[in-house]
């Protein structure tokens, strides 16, 4: 299948490799750009671990410091892989969402062990901090980066839809879904989506594509890249 990827450039490139290995043809058309914030090196006195809810959070944190010997708690496999790739030595993976990560933290470290630093984005909603605060943890939310959305459909995506040369699109967040939806609507290409599979990482992501209509909307069984790839194969089997 020809599959549109609208993720930020670095994440899109890695996903494209995985899709090619499965025999698909990826089209990278990033609608999101990641910008790391400049700032001083974090202070680590009294810190017991880093918590990361995205691979970009790991990358942004790694850009601020050379410290790699702190424990790092990752929300899912892709975030954990990014941490190991960056050189972190002690990585735990929750293999879920923010709520799952909060539950796992209870097993991994006690509140009295010290402060948890959340390597967060500018649009962090504070859910993880609130969940952990209920259990007695002190969480320092460190805003390290922002994700900037473009609502103009990239030319490669527009051409694929115009010529009915797109089979599926993979959508990894509600924000990405909204940017994609807006770009498609503004380009006048909503009708073309009726022949395309939409493969979404969560029900909230699928809902954010509304009111677009697709050939099929598939939601991954788990909120991670591996489950998204499995959903791609489910779509391919019905294509």
Residues 166 and 117 in one domain: no
Q: What is the pLDDT of residues 49-85, one digit of tens each?
A: 999 999 999 999 999 999 999 999 999 998 999 999 9
pLDDT band at 155 (very low <50, low <70, confident <90, very high): very high
Residues 115 and 187 in one domain: no
The residue out of 113, 147, 181 marking a domain boundary is: 147
Give the pLDDT mean for 143-147: 94
Residues 178 and 189 in one domain: yes
The residue out of 147, 181, 212 marking a domain boundary is: 147
Return phi, psi of residue 142, to 5°.
-105, 110
Judging by beta carbons within 10 Å of its beta carbon (0-12, 13-18, 19+), is residue 182 exposed, middle or buried?
A: middle
Residues 41 and 118 in one domain: yes
List the helix and strand counts (H, then E) for the chain: 9, 11
Residues 156 and 216 in one domain: yes
Q: What is the count of structural domains for the chain?
A: 2
CATH of the domain at 157: 3.40.50.10090
Give the count of beta carbons closer than 10 Å to the beta carbon of residue 86.
16
Q: What is the pLDDT of residues 90-140, one digit of tens each?
A: 999 999 889 999 999 999 999 999 999 999 999 887 899 999 999 999 999
* Range name among 162-166, 175-179, 222-226, 227-231 with the lowest pLDDT average: 222-226
pLDDT band at 202 (very low <50, low <70, confident <90, very high): very high
Of 225, 38, 46, the C-alpha closest to 146 is 38
Residues 44 and 140 in one domain: yes
Instruction: Report pTM.
Output: 0.81
Task: Tell me how far apart the 2 most distant CA atoms of the chain are, in Å.
Answer: 59
| 117 close to 88: Cβ distance less than 8 angstroms | no
Tokens coding 107: 């097993």
Domain range spanning residue 123?
34-147
- Is pLDDT above 80 for 239? no
Residues 99 and 162 in one domain: no
- Is pLDDT above 80 for 200? yes
């Amino acid at each position: 299948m020809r599959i549109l990827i609208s993720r930020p450039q670095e994440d899109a490139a890695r996903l494209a490799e995985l899709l090619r290995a499965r025999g698909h043809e990826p089209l990278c058309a990033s609608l999101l750009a990641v910008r790391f914030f400049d700032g001083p090196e974090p202070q680590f006195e009294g810190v017991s671990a880093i918590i990361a809810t995205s691979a970009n959070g790991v990358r942004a944190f790694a850009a601020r410091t050379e410290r790699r010997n702190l424990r790092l708690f990752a929300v899912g496999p892709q975030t954990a892989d990014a941490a190991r790739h960056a050189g972190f030595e002690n990585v735990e993976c929750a293999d879920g969402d923010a709520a799952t990560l909060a539950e796992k933290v209870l097993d991994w470290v006690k509140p009295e062990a010290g402060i948890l630093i959340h390597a967060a984005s500018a649009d962090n909603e504070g859910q993880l901090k609130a969940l952990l605060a209920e259990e007695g943890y002190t969480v320092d939310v460190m805003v390290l980066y922002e994700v900037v959305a473009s609502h103009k459909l990239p030319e490669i995506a527009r051409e694929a839809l115009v010529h009915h040369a797109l089979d599926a699109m993979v959508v990894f967040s509600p924000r990405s879904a909204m940017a994609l939806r807006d770009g498609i609507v503004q380009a006048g290409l909503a009708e073309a989506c009726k022949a395309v599979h939409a493969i979404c990482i969560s029900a909230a992501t699928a809902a954010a594509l509304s009111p677009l209509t697709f050939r099929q909307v598939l939601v991954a069984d788990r909120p991670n890249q591996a489950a998204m790839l499995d959903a791609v194969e489910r779509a391919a089997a019905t294509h």
